């Protein structure tokens, strides 16, 4: 923040993220910068910790770790193993189960281009495999669905219903991490 302030920018729009955890030490810098610039702060209300602090504090030493999948918070187990078996037996014919299409040496300066496979929506599984049922739910729903698609609703689910069920906790933003943590605290 001091560097931004000393750079003497004028007439710029500056967007800052993740500043609430440091607010007390950078507030004066931000006020000074905003005298000559438009400053927009993008952060989550009432979350005064960094992602790293949230992970260390709530998702490191307990039952749920940063590598835990969201579905595990709702009591489902070993879905990765089951979906990997389905991926092996039903690979996408275009990406061969790799989830991405890679092209080598397209032209000078581009040695390799990798893009998500649009045929399987980067699941690596063909249509038949996506229709397979695991734990009473289609594989497609597990891989691309939200909590609300899998877990029956209750009032305590409200803050987590839109989270992708097959994401790891470390892939969530701060607000989503805190929602999962608060859900776990209320229901375990």
pLDDT of residue 120: 92
Q: Among 13-17, 50-54, 151-155, 173-177, whose mean pLDDT is lowest? A: 151-155
pLDDT of residue 108: 67
User: What is the phi-psi region of residue 29: left when phi exceeds 0, alpha when psi lies from -120 to 50, beta otherwise?
Assistant: alpha
The predicted-structure confidence for 8-42, as pLDDT tens digits, reads as follows 788 899 898 888 899 899 999 999 999 999 999 98
The predicted-structure confidence for 120-129, as pLDDT tens digits, reads as follows 989 999 999 9
Q: What sections of 35-123 are H helices per DSSP?
A: 51-58, 79-89
Is pLDDT of 141 > 80?
Answer: yes
Structure tokens at 172: 């969530």
Mean local confidence (pLDDT), 76-84 = 92
Q: How many other β-carbons are positioned within 10 Å of the β-carbon of residue 155?
A: 6
Q: What is the mean pLDDT of the chain?
A: 88
Mean local confidence (pLDDT), 90-113 = 82
Is pLDDT of 188 > 80?
Answer: no
Output the CA torsion sign for 84, 85, 86, 92.
positive
pLDDT of residue 110: 66
Structure tokens at 188: 């375990």
Quote the pTM value.
0.75
Rounded Cα gap, residues 48 and 29, in angstroms:
18
């Amino acid at each position: 923040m001091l560097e931004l302030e000393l750079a003497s920018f004028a007439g710029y729009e500056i967007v800052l993220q993740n500043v609430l955890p440091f607010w007390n030490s950078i507030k004066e810098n931000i006020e000074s910068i905003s005298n000559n610039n438009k400053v927009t702060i993008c952060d989550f209300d009432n979350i005064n910790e960094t992602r790293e602090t949230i992970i260390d504090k709530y998702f490191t030493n307990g039952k749920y770790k940063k590598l835990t999948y969201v579905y595990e918070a709702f009591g489902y187990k070993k879905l990765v193993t089951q979906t990997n078996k389905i991926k092996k037996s039903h690979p996408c014919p275009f990406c061969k189960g790799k989830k991405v299409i890679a092209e080598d040496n397209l032209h000078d300066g581009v040695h390799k281009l990798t893009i998500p496979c649009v045929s399987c929506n980067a699941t690596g599984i063909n249509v038949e495999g996506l229709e397979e049922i695991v734990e009473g739910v289609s594989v497609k729903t597990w891989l691309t669905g939200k909590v609300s698609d899998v877990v029956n609703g209750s009032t305590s689910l409200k803050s987590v219903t839109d989270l992708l069920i097959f994401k790891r906790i470390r892939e969530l933003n701060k607000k989503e991490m805190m929602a999962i943590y608060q859900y776990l605290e209320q229901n375990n």
